[in-house]
Structure formats: C-alpha cells, structure tokens
Amino acid sequence: MDKLNLRLKLTRQRAAIPEQKRRENARRIRETLLDQPWVQMAGLVACYWSIGDEPETHGLVFALWKHGATVMLPVLRDDDDLDWAVYDGPDTLAPGRFGIMEPVDTRRGVETIRTAALVIVPALAVDRTSGVRLGRGGGSYDRALARVGPNVPTVALLHDDELIDGVPSEPHDQPVRWAVHPGGLVNLSTATPYR
C-alpha cells in the first residue's frame, strides 16, 4: 500500500478507538516509558504535545517535567522544519500552526534536537522490521531525526495494530530505534519481532 492510502487507513483506524481505550493506552505507554532507566536518566528530552487521535502525551510530558527532566517540544516553522522550545508547566503553552500547543519559551533552533538524550516522536505506524515510521507527510521529523546522533534512543508512540509490516520506505525516511505501544516496548534496532 502506498503512503497516502496507508495514512488514510491508519487515520480511520485511530478515529475508531473508544475514549476509554485511548485513556488506557496513554496510561500504559506513559508507565512503560517511565519504568525505563534510560528514560528516568535522560536530562533533556525532546517530546511532542499530542493532538487529535494521537497517543496522548500530556501526562507523559507533565510527569517527565515533574521528575526534573527538561522537556523540549516542537515549534513548527513555516518551512515545516521543527524548531524547539522548553516546556515549563501547563501554563506555558500557546497554540501555533494547526492549533498545536507550543511552548511560549524562546526558540532554541532546529539544531537543538542534537543535544537531547531521548527523542520521543509521533507516528501513524512503524515498520516492525526496519523501524521506518509513517508520519503526517510534511517531512518534519525526517529532517529532525536526521540530526540525532546514533546512540540516542528515538521512540515512536503507537496505538495497538500500528507496528506493522510493509511501511513504504524512501531514502529520506529516518527509522526510529524503539516503539512503545499499549502492549509494551519494542527494540527495533535489534529487529526483535513483536508478537
């Protein structure tokens, strides 16, 4: 299936998830991540502020911040590249492009993602073998992830049935090293199959 049709299918699948299941998914994903020593030890975390049907990250961002991590969130630039600004509590966000909440803090520049110890990204789906992720199609995260060093964990958050086979891959696609779904954490750099 091509990227466009796959996006359509996954978007519909997401829209059908009942509210209670969404809340449960967010809780499981948050707890799975917060249980990992490499998450607990990350001083600077790049995350995202979820919108719509995405796995919800508001509780995760708040928990990371409460535990003392510095959490950066993306600020979408006019050229669709991602700038970064620091989250400093629920009252420090304001709507940006597409109405996504962004920190009102100073923009730190597109290169700031290089300094993150942990990078958490949105995805519609991830290929269970290659780690290739399907995004919204703006190429924003392809650009951002290309700046992340080889030893930094990059993690995509997914609902059930979004770790799939056959995500179409193009040369610019940046694979992620981990996926977290309601069933747990999957290491994609060792290509451990999830069952």
Ligand X SMILES: Nc1nc2c(c(=O)[nH]1)N(C=O)[C@@H](CNc1ccc(C(=O)N[C@@H](CCC(=O)O)C(=O)O)cc1)CN2
Q: Select the binding partner of residue 52 from ligand ATP, ligand X, none (C-beta < 5 to 8 A, by kind).
A: ligand X
Separation between Cα atoms, residue 30 and residue 24, nearest integer Å: 10
The residue with tokens 């995202």 is 48
Per the annotation, does 194 bind a ligand?
A: no
Shortest-Cβ-distance residue relative to ligand X:
140
Q: Select the binding partner of residue 142 from ligand X, ligand ATP, none (C-beta < 5 to 8 A, by kind).
A: ligand ATP
Backbone angles phi, psi at 143, to 5 degrees: -70, -45
Spatial neighbors of 135 by CB under 8 A, at least 6 apart, are 122, 123, 124, 141, 142
Nearest to residue 90, comparing CAs of 66, 107, 114? 66
Per the annotation, does 14 bind a ligand?
A: no
**90-149 positions binding ligand ATP, by CB under 6 A:** 134-143, 146
Return the residue of 26, 60, 64, 82 that touches ligand X, per CB under 6 A: 82
Q: Which window, 25-33, 37-45, 74-82, 126-134, contacts ligand X (CB under 6 A)?
A: 74-82
- Smallest distance, ligand ATP to C-beta of residue 173, A: 5
Contact between 32 and ligand X by CB under 6 A: the answer reads no
Closer residue to ligand ATP in complex, CB, 61/110: 110
Contact between 182 and ligand ATP by CB under 6 A: the answer reads no
Q: Which residues of 94-112 are buried (b: 16+ CB within 10 A; e: fewer)?
A: eebeeebbbbebeebebeb
